Structure 1
Amino acid sequence: MTVSAAGEFGLIDRITARLGAAPACLLGPGDDAAVVAAPDGRVVASTDVLVEGRHFRRDWSSAVDVGHRAAAANLADIAAMGAAPTALLVALCVPPDLELGWAEGLADGLSAEAASVGAGVVGGDVSASPTLTVAVTALGDLGGRPPVLRDGARAGDVIALAGRTGYAAAGYTVLSRGFRTPKLLVDAYRRPVVPYAAGPTAAVRGVTAMVDVSDGLLADLGHLAAASRVAIDLRRSAFDVPDQMRDAAAALGVDPYAWLLAGGDDHALAAAFPEDVPLPDGWRAVGHVVHGSGVTVDGRPFTGPAGWDHFR
């Protein structure tokens, strides 16, 4: 059955039937708007959009995969502010001939990724469109803490990373060359493994600035450095190249450090910590904040693109 055969409200019924409950949701789908608890009195909000052919391909990823990716892209932004995710709102624009089962799979992926952090999908909208598009808005709670911004890094701080980088970019390259292995890399592109808990943990432990690595470590740390009016120097030796990534890079003629330092979509968290603060579990030091501007690697500018830019 296609979504046009089910109709707008049939599609909505099919989707909402697959969504689990969220602790913060006081009123879910079915009314004009959802009601979400905000114990802190402030709400952290972020939005992101995935467009077919630009952000995903249905022959590369299942509907469930796309749901996980769409949720992760937003939930990671909430974690990067030091907040705990509470809810997702989803706007879905689909071609009328899309199989209804694909939309149901998308809902399953969105719901599962949200549930992994104690959040849920609480509402949204659907529309017909020639281009399949998934737009997600995430909400989060600060738990009484100030938000962690990008502008607090100071010279002498340690730059640390939680999560992994380069895996999704390597998987994308593998898929774009017509291959489906190594599975480790392809799966990383299809469903990012995000260290959500590392964000609130860092906030408690005195982090001075933090950012979600969505476009590439160099590019996103560049935003943090610019906001803080400092420079950042990374240590190449701090980044291990796993064997499967090294083998894939050799086979495809790619420098693996281009993936590790400039590849996006893994949604790791990068942050600055005072030098005298022990790093929390799950974080590892990869560089330092210094006086100046920009981001360097071992004191030198990185050769090649620093990350993803939608308009270049």
Structure 2
Amino acid sequence: MVQDVDILAARVRDGDRRALARAITLVESGRADHRADANALLEKLADPSRQALRIGLSGTPGVGKSTFIEAFGLKLTDAGKRVAVLAVDPSSARTGGSILGDKTRMEQLSRAPGAFIRPSPSQSELGGVARRTRDAIALCEAAGFDIVLIETVGVGQSETIVADMSDLFVLLLAPAGGDELQGVKRGIMEIADLILINKADGALRETAIRTAADYAGALRLMRAREGDAPGFPKAMIVSAVEGSGLDEAWDAMTELAEYRRASGFWDARRARQARGWFADEVRKGLLRRLQADPEAEAAMEALAEEVAVGKRAPGAAAVEVLDVLTRDERA
């Protein structure tokens, strides 16, 4: 399989979209042999000189995320940019299944030569991010894409996970009144770099302008953050249907990205993200080893029953399970 990994890595590096799709399928697989090949592939493709602008995008249901991404993506590809869209579909809590219909929702963009759209199921991950979204981002960068858009599921405080793997975080909202402003969690406001009020056209244009002003006022009350250029975070109006405001939104994104690169914040943040990614992989690896150890798994099940009925404290029970694993390693 090593030879196949070498060939796949070379094709991904050349920008082959079929090879990229196959590579993402490989890293998303839960099979142990596929995991080993995926790690080998990611290791071969690691190249700090290939960096895309990673843009996390979230918004309330019905705000027009897919319409915005298609219009925005087409504008970027028309300008000669290569754009990858990692669209995460919500998974069923009962069956684990997903519709994965993003290529249908973004039909024009999916046919653009400079675009790549990959829908993935969110499974049980927080933040509306697929289990291997970070690996998929790395693969898209290795394939030479200039921009990676990560569309997430819904809006919630766990969206900080998305911000932690992005260079910019964009919140897309619909024209609304004060009640809707109250409904957007403060935690989301604190991580947003840019708030875009979509559907600013026709009868809703004036409402959108007022909504943007309301959010701009709310953003001014936020504490200053490291890495923010003067005037950021900011709220702007766009219309994905008419295409208005998209150039201004892109100008704002590039302005902030250039500021962060020049100030050193970009490199420092990427380094923190990589460290966090590594630590997360270690934690997940330890959990997999626990689940693969028959004695530890049996102890875990027995202690879980005691915790469930209140006989044991969760923290102390967890230490006991971990002791089983470390005792086996010392033996």
Q: Is TM more than 0.5 here?
A: no
The structure with the greater share of residues assigned to strand is 1
Larger radius of gyration: 2
